[in-house]
Structure 1
Amino acid sequence: MTTISTSTGAFFDKSRTDMKSLRGQAETLQTQLSTTQKLSRSSDNPVAASRLRALSRQETLSQIDTANANRANADLTLADGAMSDIADTIIRAQELATQAASSTLTAEQRGAVATELDQVHAALFGLANTRDSNGHALFGGESTGDAYKLDAAGNAAYVGSASSEDLPLGEGQSVTRSMTGPQFLTFTDRNGIQSDVMATVKALSDALKAGTTPTVGANDALASLQTGLDTLSTGQTVVGTRLAWIELTGERRIDRGELRSAEQTDLGATDIASTMARLQETLTVLEASQAGFAKLSSLSLFNQLR
Structure 2
Amino acid sequence: MSSITTSTGAFFERSRSDIKGLRAQAESLQSQLSSGNKLDRSSDNPVAASRLRALARMDSLAQIDTANSERANADLTLASGTMSDMADAVIRAKELATQAASSTLTGDQRSAIAAELDQLHNTMLALSNARDSNGHALFGGEASGDAYQLDAAGKAQYVGTAQVDELPLGEGQHVTRSMTGPQFLTFTGKDGTATDVMATVQALSDALKAGPGTTAATDALTDLQTGLDTLTTAQTVVGSRLNWIELTTDRRTDLSELRSTEEAGIGGADLATTMTRLQETLTVLEASQASFTRLSSLSLFDQLR
- Tell me, what secondary structure is at the counterpart of 1:222? helix
In structure 2, the residue corresponding to 1:246 is in which secondary structure? helix
Which residue number in structure 1 is paired with residue 111 of structure 2? Answer: 111
Partner of 1:135: 135
Counterpart in 1 of 2:231?
Answer: 232
Give the distance between the partners of 2:183 and 2:252, measured in 1 at CA: 30
- Greater than 6 Å deviation, 4+ residue runs: none
**Residue identity in the other structure for 1:246:** I
* Greater mean alpha carbon deviation, residues 88-97 or residues 260-269: 260-269
Partner of 2:62: 62
Residue in 1 aligned with 2:190? Answer: 190
- Cα deviation for residue 265 of structure 1 reads 1.6
**Deviation (angstroms), 1:172:** 0.9
How far, CA to CA, are the matches of 1:289 and 1:108 in structure 2?
A: 108
Q: Which residue is equivalent to 2:41? A: 41
**How many residue pairs were aligned?**
305
Task: Return the TM-score normalized by structure 1.
Answer: 0.95
Aligned to 2:249: 250
Secondary structure class of the residue paired with 2:153: coil
What letter is aligned with 1:52?
L
Q: One-letter code of the match for 2:26?
A: A
The CA distance in 2 between the partners of 1:90 and 1:27, in whole Å, is 73
The separation in 1 between residues aligned to 2:11 and 2:123, in whole angstroms, is 95
Aligned to 1:179: 179
The aligned residue for residue 283 of structure 1 is 282
Question: Secondary structure at 2:175's aligned position in 1?
Answer: strand
Q: For each residue in 1:142-189, what CA deviation from the matched residue of structure 2 results, as whole angstroms up to 9, or x when unmatched?
A: 111001000111100000111112111111111111111100000012
Residues 86-235 of structure 1 aligned to structure 2 (within 5 Å):
86-211=86-211, 214-235=213-234
| Residue aligned with 1:157, SS | strand
Residues in 2 aligned to 1:301 and 1:113: alpha-carbon distance in whole angstroms: 121
Q: What is the CA deviation profile of residues 11-68 of structure 1, one whole-angstrom value per residue up to 9, with x for unaligned ones?
A: 2222111111111111111122222222222222222222222211211111111111
SS of match in other structure, 1:39: coil
Question: SS at 2:157's partner residue?
Answer: strand
* Aligned mates of 1:5, 1:258 — CA distance in 2: 61
Q: Secondary structure at the match of 1:25?
A: helix
Partner of 1:261: 260
Alpha-carbon separation, structure 2, partners of 1:231 and 1:99? 23
Whole-angstrom CA distance in 1 between matches of 2:5 and 2:120: 108
Q: Secondary structure, in 3 states, of the residue corresponding to 2:195?
A: strand
Name the amino acid aligned to 1:226: Q
**Equivalent-residue separation in structure 1 for 2:3 and 2:158 (angstroms):** 101
Q: What letter matches 2:170 in structure 1?
A: G
Deviates more, 1:51-60 or 1:89-98: 51-60
Shift of 1:294: 1.9
Q: Counterpart of 1:187 in 2: which secondary structure?
A: strand
Q: Percent identity, aligned pairs only? A: 71
Give the counterpart letter for 2:201 in structure 1.
V
The residue type equivalent to 1:243 in the other structure is L
What value does the CA root-mean-square deviation take over the aligned residues? Answer: 1.4
CA distance in 2, matches of 1:303, 1:130: 98
Q: Deviations over 1:243-275 (max 9, x none)?
A: 101111111111111111111222222222211
With normalisation by structure 2, the TM-score equals 0.96
C-alpha distance in 2 between matches for 1:116 and 1:290: 95
CA deviation vs aligned residue, 1:60-88 (integer Å, no higher than 9, x gap): 11111111111111111111111011111
Distance, in Å, in 2 between the alignment partners of 1:294 and 1:103 is 117
Q: State the SS of the aligned residue for 1:163.
A: coil
For residues 255-300 of structure 1, the C-alpha deviation after alignment (integer angstroms, 9 at most, x for no partner) is 1111111112222222222111111111111111111122222233
Q: Which amino acid in 1 is paired with 2:236?
A: T
In 2, the alpha carbon distance for the partners of 1:293 and 1:218 equals 107
C-alpha displacement of 1:2: 4.1
- Inter-partner Cα distance in structure 2 for 1:131 and 1:305: 99
